Chains A and B, each alone.
Chain A
Amino acid sequence: MSDRWFVRLARDIRINRHVYIMLLPIVIYYVVFHYGPMYGLQIAFKDYSPARGFLGSSWAGFKHFEEFFGSMFFLRILGNTLLLSLYSLLFFFPAGIILALLLNELRSERLRRAVQTISYMPHFVSLVVIVGILFDFLARDGLINQLIASLGIEPIPFMRAAEWFRTIYVGSDIWQNVGWSSIIYLAAISNVNPSLYEAARMDGAGRLKQIWYVTLPGIMPTVTIMLILFIGKFMTVGFEKIILMYNPVIYETADVIQTYVYRKGILEANFSYSAAVGLFNAAISFLLLVLANTVAKRLGETKLW
């Protein structure tokens, strides 16, 4: 950057001084509360002691990473994280697209609006309430067990059964958020050129064929973008919900990287180690995002950048 550039910048700041003043608060916010923690990630390579602070603590190299990779938890929580996200990708992700397609096919405008209004509603209910309802309905003597008891099936301790965790997690996620995730696809569908449908009809395409050959290709760019974003969040999963749902009995399937970071770091004050685990997670997330974007670009699909 040459001196000229700084002269131009100084002029720009003078002319737009009010705009730069408006910008100041959020720039400070992002530097402190987003780039501050990134700077703080250096403790992953140190032995952080609160008394010595970020800078004063002594370097530890890759000690914490080695400890994590060597621990018995590593494969379990990595596997749980990937599996839970994979199930969400297989079941939750298409659900929003399918709902949007079916809503779009409804003939009655009023019915469609009513279904939409209802389907968005659970999205606004707090996770604490959602998980509270899960505990209530899925309890040993809860509603679901009462219903299956009438079919002669033994009660199932759903919330204390490791093999049920993923089903309950993904199922309740679909229940809560499928309507919300359909909004974006409905918007994409409404932008599909109507003359394409007419042409398809002329060629004798029925409704299903119109969905398959006109609607779906029409919303593919949106689907691609949402898929890239989904993959970018692959490693985060809904750890807040898991913390509400899990207990040591089901750690075997429920414990993921982020919940492990929370327990080690916040509950056990093992700061450097858990920061290292967190950094590992964030790095994998970022790589996945870049990878997904590159693949989309190669395939000639829409890309994020």
Chain B
Amino acid sequence: MLIRRSLGERIFDVANAAGMLLFSFVTIYPLLYVVFASFSDPSRIIQNRGALFYPLGFTLDAYEMVFKNPNILGAFANTLFYVIVGTLLNILLTALGAYALSRRKLMLKNPIMFLIVFTMFFEGGLIPLYLLVQNLSLLDTRWSLIIPTAVSAFNLIIMRTAFQGVPYDLEESAKIDGANDWSVLFRIVLPLSMPVIAVMILFYGVSHWNSWFLATVFLQTRELYPLQLILREILISNDTSSMSVGIASGDQMQIGETIKYATIIVSTAPILFLYPFLQRYFVKGVMIGAVKE
């Protein structure tokens, strides 16, 4: 298109581009700071004043301490368990429910859908949930972090909308060939819905990985703690005692500073590495959810 841009428009374009670059910098800088600081020499970080644009010195000591620390490794393993088992259960239940609720003719479809959507707007709340988990003898077990969050209504709606988009003829002809609903789901609908499954794995997986609140409510035994709770002790309660295993007390003060940053990176990197690959899927996923909502 050959449309001359006026001077005003060109100024707008340049200012907008500059503004967006500044916005990106402000967004990413805190994370970059943490990366730089985690590789830095602890004594120089303590003396440093002001912003950081590259690591001060270079050392992997902080990471070594993190990977040698039994508390962090144990919590890391726990988190992996919660993420893997939790997400598998999430995906299985959500897929079954979404398939059933995406059927065209099902007498109880609308009442059940209402039952589920209603919970998005009215909840019994924390205390009754806590007492319920207690009454089910799930308190202070690994399952308390997996079963009470088995399905998210929001994700269910996204997946159901995606399933509704699978061409009906495919299912119909499979049924004529004698396939039942299980094989329609696992052989036709699921393979055609891999993008939305990827989004669901990301959404559910990240929420398990980042979850900490239910763990403080439901867990007492330290051996069951997920990584985020240990992180909370180190970052927020400033309790580095779980870190001090095997450090002489003089160095402890200094390296404590960079260990904080290394722990953040170790606990955040897995998600941030994964996410650019899934980005094009999740944008689509959010939109599917949006259309229906």
Residues in chain A within 8 A of chain B (CB atoms): 8-9, 12, 16, 18-20, 22-23, 25-27, 29-30, 32-41, 43, 48, 50, 53-54, 99, 102-103, 105-108, 111, 114-115, 117-122, 124-129, 131-133, 135-137, 143, 146-147, 149-150, 175, 179, 183-184, 187-188, 201, 206-208, 222, 225, 229, 232, 240, 243-244, 258, 261-262, 265-266, 271, 274-275, 278-279, 281-282, 285-286, 289
- Residue numbers in B under 8 Å from A275 (CB-CB): 125, 127-128
Q: A102-B16, A128-B232, A129-B235 are in contact. Are A117 and B27 (CB under 8 A)?
A: no
Whether B125 contacts A26 by the Cβ 8 Å rule is: no
Whether A106 contacts B16 by the Cβ 8 Å rule is: yes
CB contacts under 8 Å to A, within B237-270, are 260, 264, 267-268
A114, B17: Cα distance in complex, Å = 12
Whether A43 contacts B131 by the Cβ 8 Å rule is: yes
Give 22 pairs: A residue, B residue, CB < 8 Å, sorted on A.
Answer: A9-B107, A20-B108, A29-B150, A33-B150, A36-B132, A37-B128, A43-B127, A43-B128, A102-B16, A106-B16, A114-B24, A120-B279, A121-B272, A125-B210, A125-B271, A126-B212, A131-B235, A132-B236, A137-B33, A207-B12, A262-B126, A266-B127
Interface centre among B94, B234, B287 (most CB of A within 10 A): B287
The contact of B275 among A43, A121, A129, A222, by CB within 8 Å, is: A121
The contact of A135 among B28, B115, B150, B236, by CB within 8 Å, is: B236
What is the interface of chain A mostly: helix, strand, loop, or mixed?
helix
Whether A137 contacts B30 by the Cβ 8 Å rule is: yes
- Residue numbers in A under 8 Å from B206 (CB-CB): 124
- Residue numbers in B under 8 Å from A281 (CB-CB): 125
- Residue numbers in B under 8 Å from A18 (CB-CB): 180-182
CB contacts under 8 Å to A, within B125-162, are 125-132, 134-135, 147-148, 150-151, 156
A286, B23: Cα distance in complex, Å = 36
Name 13 extra pairs, CB < 8 A, besides A30-B116, A30-B119, A143-B51.
Answer: A12-B105, A22-B96, A38-B124, A108-B17, A121-B28, A122-B31, A129-B235, A132-B232, A179-B27, A187-B290, A262-B217, A271-B127, A282-B125
Whether A30 contacts B151 by the Cβ 8 Å rule is: yes
Whether A26 contacts B93 by the Cβ 8 Å rule is: yes
Interface centre among A37, A38, A262, A265 (most CB of B within 10 A): A37
Whether A279 contacts B125 by the Cβ 8 Å rule is: yes
- Residue ID in chain B nearest A183 by CB atoms: B286
Q: Which stretch (B2-10, B62-70, B80-88) binds chain A?
A: B2-10
Whether B279 contacts A129 by the Cβ 8 Å rule is: no
Whether B20 contacts A127 by the Cβ 8 Å rule is: no
Q: Nearest-CB distance from B283 to chain A (Å)?
A: 6
Q: Nearest-CB distance from A154 to chain B (Å)?
A: 16
